[in-house]
Amino acid sequence: MVALNKSARLSQGKFQHPRIHSRCSISSTCTSSSLILALVATSGGFLLYRRISLAEIAVLEQRNATLTLAVDQQTKTTEQMVQNAERLAAANEFLSERFAATETEFVMDVDRIEGLGFGEIDGLLQWINDEFQRSIDGLRKATAR
């Protein structure tokens, strides 16, 4: 019967010798425990890595939001500076044109004054004083009547 059992076990592919069977059972239990332990350790390591990665991602997203806000603010500031510079350039151009026009008018006025031919200043002052005196005398005569 033992031989029959042996052949039946061989045909089923489950032949196990009692001594070998005990070693295999310890060995397979150790191997299974080792595999489960390795699986648990790998899973734990992955979960720890995932938590650390999620924390780093959160920090990086916060920094990204801060930097995006700073860039937006600097863009607005730059746009405002460009607008101010354009207005200042237009005002400077207008002011330069007005200065040039005023200077041109001044030069033309000086040319007209010099073209009047008053002669020397002392003679001009004498003539002005004489005309003023005649006006005063004319007013006295008109009011004396």
Q: Tell whether the model's pLDDT for residue 4 goes beyond 70.
A: no
As a whole number, the mean pLDDT across the chain is: 81
17 φ, ψ to 5°? -80, 145
Q: Is residue 12 part of a domain?
A: no
Q: Tell whether the model's pLDDT for residue 9 goes beyond 60.
A: no
What pLDDT, in 10s, does the model give residues 61-94?
Answer: 999 999 999 999 999 999 999 999 999 999 999 9
Name residue, tokens 């990665």: 53
Q: Is residue 46 part of a domain?
A: yes
Output b/e per residue, 96-107; b: 16+ Cβ within 10 A: eeeeeeeeeeee
Q: Is residue 26 part of a domain?
A: yes
Give every CB contact of residue 6 below 8 A, 6+ residues apart in sequence.
Answer: 15
What are the angstrom distances between the C-alpha of 68 and each of 56, 59, 61?
18, 14, 10
Domain count, the chain: 1
Q: Is residue 110 part of a domain?
A: yes
Cα 101 to Cα 98: distance, rounded to the nearest angstrom: 5
Tokens found for residue 122: 């002392």
Residue 9 vs residue 103, higher pLDDT: 103
Cα 27 to Cα 33: distance, rounded to the nearest angstrom: 10
Q: Tell whether the model's pLDDT for residue 129 goes beyond 70.
A: yes
Q: Is residue 3 part of a domain?
A: no
* Per-residue H/E/C for 79-95: HHHHHHHHHHHHHHHHH
Output the pLDDT for position 111. 78
Q: Is residue 101 part of a domain?
A: yes
Q: Is residue 127 part of a domain?
A: yes
Q: Which domain holds residue 91?
A: 17-144
Work out the percent of the chain whose per-residue pLDDT is above 70: 74
Cα 87 to Cα 79: distance, rounded to the nearest angstrom: 13
What pLDDT, in 10s, does the model give residues 85-115?
Answer: 999 999 999 999 999 999 999 888 887 777 6
What pLDDT, in 10s, does the model give residues 17-63?
Answer: 555 444 445 556 778 888 888 888 898 889 999 999 999 999 999 99
Q: Is residue 98 part of a domain?
A: yes
CB 37 within 8 A of CB 31: no
